[in-house]
Amino acid sequence: MKREKPQSFNTVPIKERLTIPRQDMPEQDALLRSTNFLEVNLGFTPEQAVIEAQRCIECKNPTCMEGCPVNIKIPDFIQLICNKDFMGAAEKIKEDNSLPAVCGRVCPQETQCEQVCVVGKRFEPVAIGRLERFVADYAMLHGNGSAKTIEKPKPSGQKVAIVGSGPAGLAVASDLIKEGHDITVFEALHEFGGVLVYGIPEFRLPKAILREEVANLEAKGVKFIKNFIVGRTMTIQELMTDEGYDAVFLGLGAGLPRFMNIPGENLNGVYSANEFLTRSNLMRGYEFPEWDTPLYRAKHAIIVGGGNTAMDAVRTAKRLGADEASIVYRRSEEEMPARNEEIHHAKEEGVQFLNLVNPIEFIGDEQGNVVMAKCLRMKLGEPDESGRRRPIPMEGSEFTMDVDMVVIAVGNGSNPLIAQTTPEIETNKWGNIVADDDGRTSMEGVFAGGDIVSGGATVILAMGAGRKSAAAISEYLKEKVGSVT
Amino acid sequence: MYKILKAKFIAPNVKSFIIEAPLIAKKRQAGQFVMLRVHDKGERIPITIADSDIKAGWINIIVQGLGKTSAHLNTLEAGDHLQDLVGPLGLPTHIENWGTLVCISGGVGTAEALPIAAAGKAAGNRVISIIGARNKDLIIAEAQMAELVDEVRISTDDGSAGRHGLVTDVLQDIMDEGIKPDMIVAIGPLPMMAAVSNQTKEIGIPTMVSLNAIMVDGTGMCGACRATVGGKTVFVCVDGPEFDGHQVDFKELGMRQKMYKKQEAESHKCFLEKQMKKLKTEQAEEVSS
């Protein structure tokens, strides 16, 4: 990785840096926030950001950058914060990441950049995620991306269609618009952002932030079309032959919720996490009847699963007024895929954790409403192919719980739409699109990345896949021009 | 925004809309539906496409005002706009030359049966249409259907038109006359589709039903629209909307359709109160001017 060491603006002597404590991010009081949908984390103050930035010891080999799936120039932006050049810091991040305000909020930094931070070997790592969030918010507040400051590149004359406006699609749009291509993002729903809109609650990622990020891309010239389902409203083939798109990127995400295939799963009150969160986040069910989409308000809700989605769902159920909202997870807390911060926040808000428990049946009343969950206790065996210890049912441990809402958050399969309408594109046995490391699919000029290729993953990994595809698309378009002339 | 070109009531509480949507008009096939939102705080609801015109670039939907969203939709007039409209969604109806096709429909289902009857006729079938309704006023699209098919038969619950009875009685009459249907398509209220499926299962006539489940996104993402067909869970939006009626668990679907009954009533009440208020203000303004 070739990169010049950034100019140091840190005035604190090295030894003293290690004595500075990691700065806590102010957050809404737990009792209060469990009753509202406002953002939980409130972000660093400028003073805190500078102090936190001063904790960086400016390693010769910045391992943090390698820990980031899109290789943000972390030491560079941290030094700019030390110099109080917050706008400069934001620009530096944006060279590699078009959605810093989003990533600063939802990236699992503790397993990426911060996990490999050298300071973190003996002390707490530099709070890179919180710093990213701070500069992104600062830049937003101080009018970044206003159209007049943007220099538009010379048009290339080539058109790219991006299918899906989630993290992968937005990353591709952001990289390719810089090269002067004519970019259109197609979205099936009525708001842009994909999983960032329907999947992540307002209290973790306010929609206003996302709208601002989309508006920035629009100001740079990216066109956005909503209510358009590629595969149905128009096929990929038609986009290329009739509408003249030279390349297509598929960032469809992981659709189709997975269920457990146990009795009673179709009872009323049993939701997939996708449905529950979509009703709440995208359709604002939590503001029913002011907004029209209904959503159950449970007395006792259980959420089955241990990922970030499960945490989002359980905290939503709590905010909707559940007396008891519990996570039911078949392994122990140690194996939970959710971020520590989310688990911690959930606990603070009064969420209960029933670990080493797995439902085997849901029981309904005469109207078909779920009233009870039958569960088994589990113990952990040897590690399985995921590297986590395998849950094994304990004989005779069956017990029941009274519940009036269940949310199944055990992951997603892939949406069958593209396979149904575009047989040219190869998919694997799980229905995911087969693509190489750079996102090339079996159909010429068509690239894919994010969850539709990898299966359910994180925002930043989808963006990383998007950036790789953008580079490959760019290369492909150059060759295409070359072959024409 | 999607412009409403024409809007008119075709039966009490049932309104027909012509909506500008050239891309959907071009693509849609029999059996497919759209998802729409009336306003920016609105629900997403699925509605079957009854007709379209590729040249003029419109689609036709028929809406029965049942809950808040459909009631609101039915207050819109030509020149108004829908907030969102997306489609066409769902798998197109599978059509082949079966021989004799009987299309059974009730309520707004008759409008939805039109494209299927037309496609069935075009594939070379002899097509008989059975239209059922509670009374004479609630029969829609009879004339359009008559133009498409070989024969139309009517049944009403109160005997105000056609045969006094149910669609299943008419189907029985047809068979008693020695006509053996090779395929049956039933579209309408759930109890009607369940009754037809029950009747035809016993005598072994393949029966296709179009399920109207509660949906949110309509593209396979959320799983709200699941139903049990042949003991397996299906998603009506991407696996359907049409299924083998003999395999559908109608009881479960019926319960799922009532999932939000309480909330829907609350929402509808709020809407009606707002409408009343609006009406009163308008009247007051009229009086004062």
A425/A299 Cα distance (integer angstroms): 46
B223/A272 Cα distance (integer angstroms): 6
Task: Choose among B257, B219, B253, B258: nearest CA to B239.
Answer: B219
Q: What is the pLDDT of residue A145?
A: 52
Query: What is the full DSSP assignment across A259-286?
Result: ----TTTTSBTEEEHHHHHIIIIIS-GG
Burial B8-40 (b: 16+ CB within 10 A, else e): eeebeebbbbbbbbebbbbbbbbbbbbbbbbee
A417 touches A231 (CB < 8 A):
yes
Q: Which three-class secondary structure state does DSSP give residue A324?
A: strand
B102 touches B181 (CB < 8 A):
yes
- A148 — pLDDT class (breaks 50, 70, 90): very low
Beta bridge partners of A137: none
Q: Which residue of B has its CA nearest to A419?
A: B238
A231/A238 Cα distance (integer angstroms): 9
In the A/B pair of chains, how many CB contacts fall below 8 A?
119
Question: What is the mean pLDDT of the segment spanning A426-454?
Answer: 91
Beta bridge partners of A393: A378
Inter-chain CB proximity A227 and B86 less than 8 Å = yes
Q: What is the pLDDT of residue A28?
A: 92
Alpha-helical runs (H) found in B99-235:
109-122, 142-148, 167-176, 190-203
Q: Is the pLDDT of residue A149 over 90?
A: no
A378 touches A394 (CB < 8 A):
yes
Burial status of residue B169 (CB atoms within 10 A of its CB: 0-12, 13-18, 19 or more): middle
DSSP H or E segment with residue A302: strand A300-304
- Mean pLDDT by runs of 10 across the 289 residues of chain B is 95 95 96 96 95 96 92 95 96 95 94 94 97 93 94 95 95 95 96 96 95 93 95 94 97 93 86 86 80
Q: B-contacting residues of A 80-99, CB under 8 Å?
A: none
Q: Is the pLDDT of residue A45 over 90?
A: yes
Give the best residue of A189, A191, A227 to mutate against chain B (max B CB count within 10 A).
Answer: A227
Q: B-contacting residues of A 243-302, CB under 8 Å?
A: 255-257, 259, 261, 265-266, 268-269, 271-272, 274-275, 278-279, 283-284, 287-294
Question: What is the mean pLDDT of the segment spanning A419-435?
Answer: 87
Chain A contacts of B219, Cβ < 8 Å?
A: 188, 229, 255, 415, 417
Q: Is the pLDDT of residue A455 over 60?
A: yes
Q: What is the pLDDT of residue A364?
A: 97
Q: Is the pLDDT of residue A449 over 50?
A: yes
Please write the tens of the pLDDT for every residue from A184-226: 999 999 999 999 999 999 999 999 999 998 998 999 999 999 9
Burial A322-353 (b: 16+ CB within 10 A, else e): bebbbbbbbbbeebbbbbebbbebbebbebeb
CB atoms within 10 A of CB A321: 14
Q: Which residue has the higher pLDDT, A461 or B170?
A: B170
Inter-chain CB proximity A190 and B37 less than 8 Å = yes
DSSP annotation of A257: B
A50 touches A84 (CB < 8 A):
yes
Inter-chain CB proximity A292 and B69 less than 8 Å = yes
Q: B-contacting residues of A 212-251, CB under 8 Å?
A: 226-229, 232-234
Type of residue numbered A258: R
Q: Which three-class secondary structure state does DSSP give residue B148?
A: helix
Inter-chain CB proximity A266 and B227 less than 8 Å = yes
Alpha-helical runs (H) found in A186-307:
195-198, 207-219, 236-241, 273-277
B245/B247 Cα distance (integer angstroms): 5
Averaged confidence pLDDT in chain A: 91
Inter-chain CB proximity B44 and A293 less than 8 Å = yes
Question: What is the mean pLDDT of the segment spanning A449-466?
Answer: 87
The CA distance from B256 to the nearest CA of chain A, in Å, is: 6
Query: What is the full DSSP assignment across A2-61?
Result: --PPPPP---S-HHHHTTSPPPPPPB--HHHHTT--S-SB----HHHHHHHHTT----SS
A336/B219 Cα distance (integer angstroms): 30
Q: Is the pLDDT of residue A1 over 70?
A: no
Chain B contacts of A290, Cβ < 8 Å?
A: 41
Chain B contacts of A268, Cβ < 8 Å?
A: 255-256, 258-259
Please write the tens of the pLDDT for every residue from A112-145: 899 999 999 999 999 999 999 999 999 988 876 5
Q: Considering CB atoms only, which of B44, B220, B256 is closest to A417?
A: B220
Inter-chain CB proximity A233 and B87 less than 8 Å = yes
Q: Which residue has the higher pLDDT, A76 or A5?
A: A76
Torsion of Cα atoms, A303 then A308 then A309 then A314, to 10° = 40
CB atoms within 10 A of CB A122: 7
Q: Is the pLDDT of residue A240 over 80?
A: yes
Q: Considering CB atoms only, which of A198, A292, A416 is closest to B238?
A: A416
Collect all residues from B whose CB is shorter than 8 A from any CB in A. 23-24, 27, 37, 41-44, 68-69, 83-89, 91, 216-217, 219-224, 226-228, 233, 235, 238, 252, 255-256, 258-260, 263-264, 266-267, 270
DSSP annotation of A369: B
Q: Is the pLDDT of residue A7 over 70?
A: yes
Cα separation values, A208 from A8, A29, A286, A332, B236, Å: 34, 22, 17, 36, 33
CB atoms within 10 A of CB A123: 17
Q: Considering CB atoms only, which of A226, A232, A268 is closest to B87?
A: A232
pTM recorded for the entire structure: 0.93
Question: What is the mean pLDDT of the segment spanning A342-355?
Answer: 95
Q: Considering CB atoms only, which of A229, A278, A288 is closest to B222?
A: A278
Q: What is the pLDDT of residue A484?
A: 57
Q: What is the pLDDT of residue A147?
A: 43
Chain A contacts of B264, Cβ < 8 Å?
A: 294
- A159 — pLDDT class (breaks 50, 70, 90): very high
- A57 — pLDDT class (breaks 50, 70, 90): very high
Please write the tens of the pLDDT for every residue from A69-104: 888 999 999 999 999 999 999 999 988 888 899 989
DSSP annotation of A440: B
Cα separation values, A244 from A26, A159, A160, A200, Å: 50, 7, 9, 35
Torsion of Cα atoms, A57 then A60 then A64 then A70, to 10° = 140
